[in-house]
Structure 1
């Protein structure tokens, strides 16, 4: 189950990065910043809670 959640977190991170890059083309830099911050938080959570041994 943890592997499934870790893989789902990767998908969420990729979606957040894609949305942030798209927001930068609009240019909606505040939204892009929030998306990048959210992606960083998901990466941190994944590495510390879902993948940690």
Structure 2
């Protein structure tokens, strides 16, 4: 179960990075910044909580 959650968190982080890139492309920098910040938090939680849970 831990590996499934860690993989899901990685997929969410990748999705948020994509949303951030799209936001930068269309000029919506608030969306881009929020997406990059959210992706950073998901990566942090994945590395500190979900990887250690295995």
Specify every segment of 5 or more residues in structure 1 that has no aligned partner in the other structure, as ranges. none
Give 4+ residue runs of structure 1 displaced > 4 Å after superposition.
Answer: none
TM-score, structure 1 normalization: 0.95
**Number of matched pairs:** 53
> What is the root-mean-square deviation in Å for CA atoms of aligned residues?
0.9
TM-score using structure 2 length: 0.94
What's the secondary structure of 2:27's corresponding residue? Answer: coil
Aligned counterparts, 1:36-47, within 5 A: 36-47=36-47
1-structure distance, mates of 2:21, 2:35:
9
> How far did residue 27 of structure 1 move?
0.3
- In 2, the alpha carbon distance for the partners of 1:25 and 1:6 equals 29
